[in-house]
Every structure is written in C-alpha cells, then in structure tokens.
Amino acid sequence: MIAIKDLVNAPERFVSGHRSCAGCGFPMIVRTILAACKKPVVACAATGCLEVVSTIYPFTSWNIPFIHSAFENSAATMTGVVHAYKALKKKGKIKKDAKFVVFAGDGGTYDIGLQALSGALERNEEFVYVCYDNGAYMNTGIQRSSATPKGAYTTTTPAGKLEFRKDLAKIAIAHEIDYVATASPNNFMDLALKAEKAFSTKGSSVLIVLSPCPLGWGSKTAQSIKIAKLAVETNFWPLYEYEKKRYALNFNPDKRKNIKEFLETQTRFKQLLLPENKKVLAKIQKNIDEKFDELKKLCGEK
C-alpha cells in the first residue's frame, strides 16, 4: 500500500512550468495519480485545459511518454496505444511492463467523449481513465456540460443550469468493470490509494476527481482545497469506490453540512442564494440528501 513517503520520493512525471491558472485543481491531481504508479506509465490527454496549459510548443510539462488526443476520442486513442504496446511486447521489441492512463475533463468525458469511453469500458481495455471534473467546458469559454451542477452559472446558462448533473460513476459501473471511484484533491492520500488500486486493476478502471476551477467557479484562488473539502463534507461530492461488484463509502460525515456552505464560496451560484430561489435551493439539498442515502444503502452503511 502506498505511503506519503512514496509520493514524496516518486519521480517527477508532471513538472512545473505549465500555464494552469492559480488555484487550478488538476496539476495536483495529475501529480498525485502519476506518483501512485510504480511502473513506467504512458499518458494521453484529451483536448482541454490540461492539454493546452501543459503542451504549449515547444515546451511540455510531461516527463513521461505523452500523446495528445482530440477532444472526443481519448479513450479510443489510448486503446490504440495499448494494443500497439502489446503487439511490440509480443514481438520482443519492448521488455518493460508499462501502465497507461487517460486524463480528460468533464466535457471530453460526460459529453462528447462518452461514446469512445463507453466502447473502451465495454471491451475492458487495459488503462486507467481519469476525469478531472470542473463542471463545465472551462477551456472554451465556461459553457455548460452535463457535469454542470443544477443552478450554476455558465456562459450558456446565465440564469443557472436547470438540470441536475449526470451520474458518470453509475454509467461507468454499468459497464461491469472492476474498479470505479470518486476522489477529491483535499484528501490526497485517498486519491493516491485509489489511483494505486486503479493501476493494479486488470482491465479498465475509472477515477472521477473533483477539480476546482477558480476562473469558472468564481472562487478565490487560495481557497480551492477548502472548497473541495466543503464539497465532500456537504455530500455534494461523496467519496466512494466500487470494486468487484462491492461498494465502499470512504467518508461519512458525522454531521451533514448544508449545501449552502459550499455554494456560498462560488459566484457561479450567487443567484441560488437570492430569497426568491429558496425553493430551488431546497430542491438541490433534497436531491443531495436522497442520493447520499441511496449511496449509503449500496455501501451497506446505516
């Protein structure tokens, strides 16, 4: 089992010098996940914030083999890479064992990348798929995605999104793969342990990680980890894993915090806090409570 000293002493696979915004969540997410893999690793990133800020020609922050994929087909791209590796290894041209990981945002996962991802999961391809979920198409101008929370401002939902978020974890689990988990950067050891499990799982595994975005969320850059923690403590972002047909809850708050504490930290939700939107706020709280109670039952929790 991985320990903090292993993360500290791990080789730097995603190095400094990238151009991500201050307070962005995915640099710490990517570094933690890559540090949790003890074998050589190959990464693919869909077009999006992560790819744009880390591969501005002629510079790169990737200290490992890296391939950039189109927005919609990172899972298909990595499928090709994995099978090319297997063919070369069978011919004796590659000796080392390697692991493979895809990084994509919610737009490239929940929406336009879902078809390629579903195909790869149905075939149980040998790679880890990581969605860094910031809840909108942040790279192209903060448009809504199906991961955008109900009530959130985006440039295409200026009055607040009307629909609830899509449940990507359930969709991944429906493919009957062996490992699916949610994580948050506020608990980096939980993230590292789940990444370690994902890399050691045979076939496909999926990690869905909350990725704070000060630009798109209208939050303070120094508060990203605090906000991520509030997301977990309010059950907006429950931490759990599905492993070989069994659910496990990784955090069950002694006392549930009201979702309002999370919403107040971000200007994208400011319209929800107006007196005339009390009913909408109550509906959001009810949805969160019901989903968490449902999750607890799946996990065998009282």
| Three-state secondary structure call for residue 215 | helix
**pLDDT tens by residue, 69-78:** 999 999 999 9
pLDDT tens-digit map of 107-124: 999 999 999 999 999 999
Distance from C-alpha of 252 to C-alpha of 293, rounded to nearest angstrom: 11
Q: What are phi and psi of 266, to 5 degrees?
A: -135, 130
Please give the C-alpha separations between residue 134 and each of 24, 27, 152, 154, 301, in angstroms, as whole numbers: 9, 13, 12, 12, 28
Between strands 240-243 and 179-183, the pairing is antiparallel
- What pLDDT is stored for residue 73 in this prediction? 96
CA 204, CA 214: separation in Å to the nearest integer?
A: 31
Number of helices followed by number of strands (H, E) in the chain: 11, 8
* pLDDT the model gives residue 253: 92
Domains in the chain, CATH or no CATH each = 4-298 (3.40.50.970)
Backbone CA torsion sign across 62, 66, 67, 72: negative
pLDDT of residue 301: 85
**CA–CA distance, 79 with 61 (Å, rounded to integer):** 23
Task: Provide mean pLDDT across the span 274-283.
Answer: 96
Mean of pLDDT over the chain: 97
- Asked whether the predicted pLDDT for residue 302 surpasses 90, the reply is no
Report the 10 Å Cβ neighbour count for 29: 27
Q: How far is CA 256 from CA 12, 167, 264, 285, in A?
A: 37, 21, 16, 11
Integer CA distances (angstroms), 279 to 17, 164, 274, 286, in order: 45, 15, 10, 10
Residue 234, C-beta contacts closer than 8 angstroms, at least 6 positions apart:
256, 257, 258, 259, 261, 262, 288
Model pLDDT for residues 188-223, shown as the tens digit of each residue: 999 999 999 999 999 999 999 999 999 999 999 999
Residue 182 pLDDT exceeds 90: yes
pLDDT for 261: 97
